[in-house]
Structure 1
Amino acid sequence: MKYAVIGAGWAGCSAAVELAKRGHQVHLFEAARTLGGRARQVHLHGIDCDNGQHILLGAYEATLNLLNTLGVDPDAALLRLPLQMYYPDQSGGMQFIAPKLPAPFHLIAALLRAKGLQREDKMSLARFSSAARWMDWQLYTDCSVAELLERFDQTERLIQLMWQPLCIAALNTPIERASAQVFLAVLKDSLGARRKASDMLIARTDLSHLLPQPAADYIQVRGGQVHVGCAVQSVTPIDQQWQLDFNPNIQQEAMRFDGVVIATNAEAASTLLMQLNLADHIPAFDYEPITTCYLKYQAGTRLPRPFLALLENQAEHRWGQFVFDRGQFDGSNGGLQDGLFAVVISTSGLATESGHAELALQCAKQLAHDFNNPQLATPEWSQVITEKRATFACTPALARPSNQLPLAGLALAGDYTESPYPATLETAVKSGQAAARLFG
């Protein structure tokens, strides 16, 4: 069979690989010149980076299995760190690191050894964990994460240092509006599972070369084709097949396929489905931005750890929530990322109001203060990248569309489709695979 996949983000790439693995001829179409969608390679001052810093989890079984299928060794391609919420020593935060013990003893030991938490905070965390397990991480009625934390009498300090940063990192939605059920689903498959499931995984290479490019190679070796810079304008049923028409500015003739997976973002998918009177299949989402501020210092500049949490304080323009020392996990740039830090700001709408240049200065000052190093206030260069629609706002009881569309031979894929999880790379991969399997 001959199938088309529209969109070469992580959902589209996983759908295309699944179809190719089943022996079908696959054409993968991407409107941009770079594969990866909202998790892709960018070039900054001669360095291959990403449009945003991502963390994977050990619980990402579909993604890790897909990497193995593509011939990518996860142990070599990803830096594996234990679950941690570790703030700079003098920032007033906490230091929580899970040791290499079987679950749940790794969390018990981390809690007992945690610095920066009072006994009341530790008891609060233990109470939440035990209650969530007893509930099997399920709620009868969804509510906000803030309401859930209030129900379990979580301390203000624990919310500030643990729950709020975890929720924003996982759901990209403030705790006052974030879905408690989705948050619990994330915690179940990380904190509530085996120890390795809670590990944090950071790509040693840029994200396009981690999965999308190996996926493209896999498809082409099996007789498929990958078309970049090729925007699909319409999908039309003709003679029990589907015809794809392209932007008239592209030298590409219409093509027909036995089936099509639409793996674009929700807005582009709605535009294609509108022509088929199916636009109502995708609800209108609200979106949240994510900003990554890259700060480059002279070679040899190091942070105490590859990854640290930062104490956010919006009133003081301290916007950074996490910082990554990319020089400590650089696996493909020949040391070019030595001294390159990535400061991540989820739900970054307020942070970007003063402009990217001002935000870079504020992030540099935050690092200089937190690490007691005045030199960090003056990087050699900075670059701020904002994905304005990085993820949908993951609110309580949010309706999300299914992979199955009412018309035969047509499927939908994306991190916004029906799932118990938020918009993550793992959700995108699972959605792509589920869409491809609808074709048998």
Structure 2
Amino acid sequence: MKKVIVVGGGLSGLSTAVFLANKGIKTHLIEASPKLGGRTYSFNENDFQTEIDNGQHILMGCYNYTFDFLKNIDALDRVEFQKNLNVNFVNQKGEINKLSGDKLFYPFNLLIGILGYKALSIHERISILNFFLKILIAKPNEYKNYTTFDLLKNFKQTENSIKSFWEIIHVGTLNTELKLSSAELFVRILKTIFFTGNHSTKIVLPKFGLSKVFIENAVSFLERNGSEISLSERVTDFKINEGSIKKVVTNKREIVNFDKVVLSVPQFALNKFDSITESLNIDFELKYSPILSVHIWLNENPFNEKFYGLIDSDIHWIFNHNKHVTLVTSSAERFMNQSEDEISEKFIKELETRFSDFNKNKIIGLKIIKEKRATFIPSVETEEKRLNLKRMFGNLIISGDWTNTELPSTIEGAIKSGFLAASEIKKEY
């Protein structure tokens, strides 16, 4: 029986194992930490008997690889799809501006939705539609030498339209500043979301904690299909002979019974294996961007919607979980060295300013989570390196959201990389 060793139990490695197991190929998944999921996990906050996420995620209807993964592990019912795109954006005055695709049918519902988005002037709304028309017929690589900021300025987008529309989409998908990201990648994402059908524009939210959505059933699926999972076991070396890996060395043993190896770890972890990086000619270092999550427990919840986007705010998203709310800030470098008291004071004041029914006396608990290396920064230079990245050598395949997926550092990017790795292996089985 042929066997694949998968090193790394984040979503990329986990999805590789699941996609292979679904085709009858057994795997042995080895993870250095005592848990699976990598940066995508949830845990119990015992003080409030609440399961909270390390970082709240918004999924989109165009996450086809993610939904295939969830179907395979019988967990698709653990996420909730919008009927149509519908987002409430709150400005500095506390006014709600809806971006809604409820009227008419695709694509006219999006046209009406943007024309009805009152955070922008009518001139700005028309300018955004003109931008969409131009990228509809364009190829993303036409903008490979541009930053997203340069692109928006070249298409005459105003400061208000950038703050009230583009920046919200951009930071939510790429988790970095407009002046740092690749316009090629941003255009590719926009075309995927807005030009591949109405389903792609829908926002999808997890109904449960991330571990219950992505990890719990995946473990059961793998075990049911004869795959092995080893936690708290660190791979320390690979023994290479005649261009192939012959032995996987861990802190507990040496493994020789395998045909293929999938190395599914972050780039900074991959760099510990000199023989691998030299063979794959990986000669670049990724830079990372953090995400800040603030969980607030309330004695009375004044929020009526499931989630809100905030315009021109330190808080980008508010997610309503009834007993508590989660505030999320992407590209949160400026908060990494601030104290919890500084952050909580600033964020509570922001909520009081924008939501008249909210005040700090409703708060009964608060927890701050800083994910310092949440995602890599998809700069112009990084994207060029990713597109030319060699992913295979001998019997080794590398995967991970940082590899050449043509996607940013998202759940979808991680799972797509797992699918691509599994697809390469299935060609030979």
Instruction: Normalising by structure 2, report the TM-score.
Output: 0.91
**Are 1:282 and 1:401, in contact at CA under 8 Å, matched by a contact in 2?**
no
- How far off is 1:284 after superposition? 0.5
Tell me: CA distance 1:374–1:426, structure 2 relative to 1, closer, same or farther (3 Å).
closer
Q: Match for residue 88 of structure 2?
A: 86
CA-to-aligned-CA distance 1:329-368 (integer Å, 9 cap, x gap)? xxxxxxxxx2x11111111011233223321222122112
CA-to-aligned-CA distance 1:265-298 (integer Å, 9 cap, x gap)? 1111221354674374262111111111111112
1:146 aligned partner, one-letter code: F
Q: Match for residue 47 of structure 1?
A: 50
Paired with 1:343 and 1:191, the residues of 2 have a C-alpha distance of 26
2:100 aligned partner, one-letter code: I
- How far off is 1:24 after superposition? 2.0
- How far off is 1:66 after superposition? 1.5
Q: SS at the partner of 2:337?
A: coil
Root mean square deviation, CA, Å: 2.2
Name which of structure 1's ranges 195-204 and 231-240 shifts more when overlaid on structure 2.
231-240
Q: Match for residue 244 of structure 1?
A: 248
Paired with 1:278 and 1:401, the residues of 2 have a C-alpha distance of 17
2:420 aligned partner, one-letter code: A
**1:133 and 2:136 correspond:** yes
Q: Match for residue 335 of structure 1?
A: none
Quote the sequence identity (%): 24
Tell me: CA distance 1:43–1:121, structure 2 relative to 1, closer, same or farther (3 Å).
same
Paired with 1:137 and 1:278, the residues of 2 have a C-alpha distance of 30
Please point out which of 205, 212, 217 is paired with 1:214: 217
Aligned residues: 418
Please point out which of 315, 318, 327 is paired with 1:320: 315
Q: Match for residue 272 of structure 1?
A: 273
Tell me: CA distance 1:111–1:362, structure 2 relative to 1, closer, same or farther (3 Å).
same
Please point out which of 360, 372, 382 is paired with 2:366: 382
Paired with 2:321 and 2:105, the residues of 1 have a C-alpha distance of 29
Unaligned runs of 5+ in 2: none
Q: SS at the partner of 1:438?
A: helix
Q: Match for residue 114 of structure 2?
A: 111
Q: SS at the partner of 1:353?
A: coil
- How far off is 1:84 after superposition? 4.1
Q: Match for residue 227 of structure 1?
A: 230
1:78 aligned partner, one-letter code: E
Tell me: CA distance 1:79–1:196, structure 2 relative to 1, closer, same or farther (3 Å).
closer
* 1:397-436 correspondence to structure 2 within 5 Å: 397-398=381-382, 399-400=385-386, 405=391, 407-436=393-422
- How far off is 1:12 after superposition? 0.5
Q: SS at the partner of 1:15?
A: helix
Please point out which of 57, 79, 84 is paired with 1:77: 79
Tell me: CA distance 1:390–1:71, structure 2 relative to 1, closer, same or farther (3 Å).
same
Unaligned runs of 5+ in 1: 314-318, 328-337
Name which of structure 1's ranges 411-420 and 365-374 shifts more when overlaid on structure 2.
365-374
* 1:281-430 correspondence to structure 2 within 5 Å: 281=282, 283-298=284-299, 300-313=300-313, 319-327=314-322, 338=323, 340-376=324-360, 379-398=363-382, 399-400=385-386, 405=391, 407-430=393-416
**Are 1:290 and 1:386, in contact at CA under 8 Å, matched by a contact in 2?**
yes
CA-to-aligned-CA distance 1:182-201 (integer Å, 9 cap, x gap)? 11111111112211101111
Paired with 2:9 and 2:120, the residues of 1 have a C-alpha distance of 44
Paired with 1:266 and 1:81, the residues of 2 have a C-alpha distance of 38
**1:195 and 2:198 correspond:** yes
CA-to-aligned-CA distance 1:285-334 (integer Å, 9 cap, x gap)? 11111111111112x51413111111334xxxxx211111123xxxxxxx
Name which of structure 1's ranges 269-278 and 43-52 shifts more when overlaid on structure 2.
269-278
- How far off is 1:99 after superposition? 1.3
**Are 2:144 and 2:380, in contact at CA under 8 Å, matched by a contact in 1?**
no
Instruction: Normalising by structure 1, report the TM-score.
Output: 0.89
Moved over 6 A (4+): none
